[in-house]
Amino acid sequence: MMNSQKPLYKNKLNTIEVRVTDLLNRMTLEEKVAQTLCIYAKKGNFQDEQGNYDEDKAEKLFLTGAGRIAEVGFVENSARKMAELTNKIQKYYLEKTRLGIPVIFHEECLHGQMVQDATCFPQPIALAGTWNPDLIQNVFSLVAEETRSRGGHHALTPVADVAREPRWGRVEETYGEDPYLVSQMVIAAVKGFQGEQETINKKHVIATLKHFVAHAQPEGGSNCAPVNASESVLREVFFPPFKEAIQKANAMSVMASYNEVNGIPSHKNKWLLQNILREEWGFKGFVVSDYYAVKQLEVRHYVATDEKEAAYQAFMAGIDAELPLDECYSNITDLVKEGRISETKVDEVVGRLLEYKFRLGLFDDPYVDAEYAEKFAGSRQHRPLALQAAHESITLLKNENNLLPLSKNDIKTIAVIGPNANKVLLGGYSGIPKFYDSVLDGIKTKVGNEIEILYSEGCEITKPGDWEATDEVIPANPNDDNIKIKEAVKTAKQADIIILAIGGNELTSREAWNENHLGDRASLELVGSQNKLIKAMLETGKPVVVLLFNGRPLSINYVNKNVSAVLECWYLGQETGGAVANVLFGDFNPSGKLPISLPRSVGHIPVYYNHKPNDRRGYLFDDVSPLFAFGFGLSYTTFEYSNLKLKKSKINVNDSTIISVQVKNSGNYAGHEVIQMYIRDSVSSVTRPVKELKDFQKIQLKPSEIQTVTFEINPEKLSFWDSDMNFVIEPGEFEIMIGSSSRDIDLQRVKLKVT
């Protein structure tokens, strides 16, 4: 009998639709609007000086309710503290508000939850270099479970932006320059975060696709700058990762981008948020604003006269919730009373927001186990996955005379040199992992007492600072660097080989969220005295191995011309040292492939591989090609491709065929290879790229082992957007290319006739 007395929305035996409808019918307008609002839970606003929950502060903030709370975890809270805090806040909402509506806690989870004691994986640009979607799904499944164990429900990631502007400081947050590769990585990340069911169990969280759209090719490489792109470019390049993740992985949330697209800020762009996202793609989830972006319609874009007008424009365009706090959306109540927004529209939006609280099970089982969270988050058992991800992220760019892998038997002393040799290098949106080892730590652990390890910093990249808290970036002092370089030379002369860790740091490539907090660059050269340090190391006559740590592609012409072995490491997460050491000494054969092209200079931008045929004619006195191409990456072994053939060399426009190739490990080491398939439409009604990635497979082969790899070529892979914005296949000849990178010399070709 007790169950029958419950309101329908509190009875879990009812369908979600019935529960949402019943709850909406009970809510006042103010309670409905509260569901679109957010409270920013930075330390202090409802905690005491020790970080403990302060009920008096909280009650003043919570008032009639809120839809969500932002970043309760933050970096100051341990797993136990966060779990206890979310439980207390939920208890307040369930027991002290009129209708007992729980809140959603959203968290930053770019490559691990951005909190204390979470497992920290490589940055997304590094994860993309693994070309391993199964690994990416496993990584974010673990991130989701750690986040949920602490009380989080909604991850503000993955970044689905296609990065075609290396000057932009947020490249590290992306999965690279190619829409197909980005799509596969983002699909995998969403499946990891959410699972693959309609409901979201207590090991998963809601994923957010961001930033919709074209955020990663800003004008001049300047964060949030305008994007002017044709509809065909939007559809061919920037839309696919979002569309694919919605339709193939059921992504439940989307975040609009700060920028304007063709003159219309994304936060008021009905064509993007309604016509494309909901009507064309069938998106059923909810759309959130980027932080402070609704207010920016007034203060940066100047398309709204005040906060009320900004709220009206964003809400009517399709922004369901304002993050991270209420600057504008509380005005929705007055906008309804004034008749500018209908309460029916409010019900539609709030119904969506409530639906996902029911899907998360928050009305029925909102609490978490703080003791379990403390044991689970960042636990030692999670380190092997973080190490695997770091291993597979490392890309071997150069290895003259097989300098790598190193043999312990041939070396008595190693000099570990460089500004990135003994630093914590996690990149942006990082938490504080329980464990971290530097390159120096990893090499020392690897060799033990067998080899003497010497260390010298060599130079600084910038003066020390924090990715978030440090606004002004102070260059290193050249005079101080000169002294450090001399010390490094003395150290290096005592060694048999030099391991040189250089590149960038969290201050030289980061989100530029304000004019006093910059991170975009007008140059891609190594910052400071690093080239001078490299030259000094080479002049010792010792063999040099360069390790690059960076968040964006860098122009490393001097390194490439003069150094024998180069490894691109990006940011590898908490297992940096162990992963690097294992690769250096051959315990793991590097298998990474570049997810983004490395330009020769900033003047070579754009440098993405999938350019149009009338592009890249050449430059006076310089090579037009990238220094290292998309998809490129060496191994300690070699692979031979042969017997490339189509099952059917002629098909009709509705048909499919299979292409196969034999791949042989022709070297002396077991290794992984990423077989890449590119397609070119030879003659078409509108111009098409010289090649486009359409599929890939990562395989592992022992020495002399041969494997036949097959790919399906179906209508979707042969279609494009024509001048009328129809997705079509045009009969004619297609060139199918398979190989180890996007470089022409690495590809074999066959022709496919489509009738």
Closest CA to 494 of 542, 447, 462: 542
Closest CA to 144 of 109, 168, 176: 109
* One-letter amino acid for residue 604 of the chain: H
From CA 389, how far away is CA 482, in angstroms rounded?
A: 37
CB 166 within 8 A of CB 524: yes
Which residues, in sequence order, are CB contacts of 391 under 8 Å at separation 6+?
579, 582, 583, 588
Closest CA to 336 of 97, 563, 116, 36: 36
Copy the structure tokens of residue 672. 């992984």
From CA 408, how far away is CA 391, in angstroms rounded?
A: 20
From CA 535, how far away is CA 188, in angstroms rounded?
A: 42
CB 178 within 8 A of CB 610: yes
From CA 137, how far away is CA 542, in angstroms rounded?
A: 42
Closest CA to 245 of 191, 295, 173, 306: 191
Cβ-based neighbour number of residue 154 at 10 Å: 24
From CA 64, how far away is CA 448, in angstroms rounded?
A: 61
Nearest 5°: CA angle at 286, between 283 and 290?
120
CB 595 within 8 A of CB 674: no
User: What single-letter DSSP state applies at residue 408?
Assistant: G
In sign, the C-alpha dihedral spanning 559, 561, 565, 566 is positive
| Separation in Å, CA 744 to CA 416, 452, 694, 695 | 37, 44, 16, 17
496 classed as catalytic? no
CB 166 within 8 A of CB 599: yes
Cβ-based neighbour number of residue 699 at 10 Å: 16
CB 392 within 8 A of CB 591: yes
CB 117 within 8 A of CB 77: no
- SS3 label, residue 141: helix
Copy the structure tokens of residue 702. 């022992």
From CA 542, how far away is CA 559, in angstroms rounded?
A: 15
Closest CA to 465 of 439, 504, 438: 504
Question: First and final CA of the chain: distance in angstroms?
Answer: 68
From CA 345, how far away is CA 336, in angstroms rounded?
A: 9
Of 290, 347, 437, 695, which residue is the catalytic one? 290
CB 155 within 8 A of CB 200: no
Cβ-based neighbour number of residue 721 at 10 Å: 18
* One-letter amino acid for residue 191 of the chain: K
CB 639 within 8 A of CB 699: no
β-strands 206-212, 253-256 pairing? parallel
Closest CA to 467 of 513, 427, 514, 421: 427
b/e code 484-521 from CB counts within 10 Å (16+ = b)? bbeebbebbeebebbbbbbbbbbbbbbbbbeeebbbbb
Q: Which H or E element spans position 248?
A: helix 240-249
- Active-site positions? 290
